[in-house]
Amino acid sequence: MINQCSRGVLLTVIGLSLALTVGCSSRKHYPPSGVGDACYAKALPSVGEGGLAWGSSLNMARQKSMNNCIRYAGRSGGTPDTCQVVLAKCR
């Protein structure tokens, strides 16, 4: 049998949980960059890691993939100055 104090604490915890759940469900959730974009491109260096990126246009996707390629190639000990877009398509 639950005493009156424990019952009050339990109801308070349940109430707070529901309030937090309702509050969070009404928030807007923004998708990560690229979700919903129609075009993508992949750029690769001659040595190191390349970059894949999404964009609203082919030009945007190409530019983002080149920027990613330069960044990732530099971090992976590759050759950022040799990055080239090797694939670019729209859905």
Integer Cα distance of 45 and 48 in angstroms: 6
Can you give the residue ranges of every domain in the chain? 39-90
Judge contact between 68 and 84, C-beta under 8 A.
no
pLDDT tens column, 17-69: 544 445 444 444 445 555 678 999 999 999 999 999 999 999 999 999 999 99
pLDDT tens column, 71-81: 999 999 999 99
Residues in the chain: 91
Note the pTM of the prediction, 2 decimals: 0.60
For residue 72, CA distances in Å to 41, 51, 54, 58, 69 come to 15, 7, 16, 21, 5
Judge contact between 62 and 44, C-beta under 8 A.
no
For residue 77, CA distances in Å to 2, 30, 45, 48, 59 come to 64, 34, 11, 6, 27
